[in-house]
Amino acid sequence: MMRDTGFEIFLTALPGLEEALLAEVRGKGFRRPRTVPGGVVLEGGWPEVWRANLWIRGAGRVLARIARFRVEHLAQLDGRARHVPWASVLRPNIPVRVEASCSRSRIYHSGAAAERIERAIRETLGTHIADDAEVSIRVRIENDICTISLDTSGELLHRRGHKQAVNAAPMRETMAALFLRQCGFEGNEPVFDPMCGSGTFILEAAEIAARLNPGRDRRFAFEQLATFEADAWAKMRAVNPARTPEFRFHGRDRDAGAIAMSAANAERAGVAAFTEFQRSTISEAAPPPGPAGLVIVNPPYGNRLSDKKQLLPLYQALGQVLLTRFSGWRVGLVAAEPRLAQATRLPFLPASPPVPHGGIRVTLHRTAPLP
C-alpha cells in the first residue's frame, strides 16, 4: 500500500524514448529514477508528483502507485480493494473512473476487474463513478499482481494548454522535446526547422531555452485529489526560472497557413519574442545569421508505396540543401522509411530506436556537425 513518506511514481514514455526521459528526469533533480518498459519510475511524495507534472517535458502521464497486491480471483480482488486507503487520496464529492487491463493472470476479464474496483470505491467512500470523470484510477493485473495507480495528470501532458492550432498530423510536444534532447539540444544554440508545420519543434526548443515550465498553462487531475494543498501548489507554480534566450528559433514552411498557425501558437506560449516563422520552400531554405546550431525536421512520411516514391525528390532536395548550405549545423531528421532518410545522403550516426507515432514507427536520424 501507499506509504505516507513516499511511494512509487511512474512517468510514462513512448517505447524507445525511456532513456531520453530518464536523462531529463535526472537533470531536474529527482532522486534515483530508473527506466522500466514504457517509462521511468522514481520514489517520492505528492510534491514530487506535482513537480513532475509541472516540470517534465517528455512524460505522457504521471501515475501515483497507491496499492500493489497479489490476486488470483475476483472475490479476492473485491476484498483487497476494500482495504486500499481510498479516503486518503480521493474526495467523496469528486467523481472517478476506473480503467483496467489484465495480462497473463487468472483474472482475465478487464471489465469484471474494473467493476470490482468501482464497487469498492463506491461502497467504502461513497464516491460517484462516471465515465467522463477527470480523476482516473488505473488497474493493471499482470502475472497475478494487481497494481492500482492514480492518473495525476488528467489530460495527456503533451497538451501544454497554450497550443490551440495544429496541422493535420501533429507531432506530440512530449515526443518533440525528447527528440530535441536526443539531438543534444540544451537550449544554448539556435534551432531551424525547414518544415515546421504548427511549430512544435520550434516552440519546444524556445521554451527549453527560456526555461519555461511545460505545465505552466494547464490544470492537472491531482488538483481534485484529497492530497492536494492549494497554497503549496501556488507557491510551487509561482517560482519563475524563466530567462531570455541568447539565440532565436526559426521555422519555415511552404504553407502560409502553417506559418500563421505557428506564429499564433508562439504568441500564446509566450515565446514570440525569440521565434520567427517565414514562408519558404525547401529549395529556398538558408541558415539564419549567426552561429550554427541544430536543424530538426519532420518531413512527410508517405504511408503508401506510391507516396514514398513521390517523396524521394523532396528528401533528396532537403539533403542537398543541408549539405551545401548548413555547414557546421547538426541535423535531426524524423523518418518512417529508412530509404527516404538515406535519399538525403546525409552522414547519419547510428539511428535511435524506432518510436510508435500515429499508427506507424518513426526513427530519429542524427548527424554530427556537417562539413
For residue range 308-347, what is the model confidence (pLDDT) as tens digits? 789 999 999 999 999 999 999 999 999 999 999 999 999 9
pLDDT tens across 269-278, in order?
999 999 999 9
Residue segments in the chain with a per-residue pLDDT below the cut of 70: 1-5, 165-169, 303-306
Q: What is the pLDDT of residue 352?
A: 87
* C-alpha cell at position 127: 464516491
- Could you give the CA distance from residue 22 to residue 35 in angstroms, rounded to a whole number? 6
Between strands 355-357 and 294-297, the pairing is unpaired
Which residues pair with residue 41 across a beta bridge? Answer: 10, 34
Longest dimension (CA), the chain: 69
- pLDDT at position 242, please? 84
- According to DSSP, the β-strands at 34-36 and 96-103 are unpaired
User: Sheet of 62-70: strands edge to edge?
Assistant: 34-36, 39-44, 7-12, 62-70, 145-151, 135-142, 96-103
Residue-by-residue DSSP string for 176-196: HHHHHHHTT--SSS-EEETT-
Cell 507531432 belongs to residue: 171
Residue with cell 517520492: 44
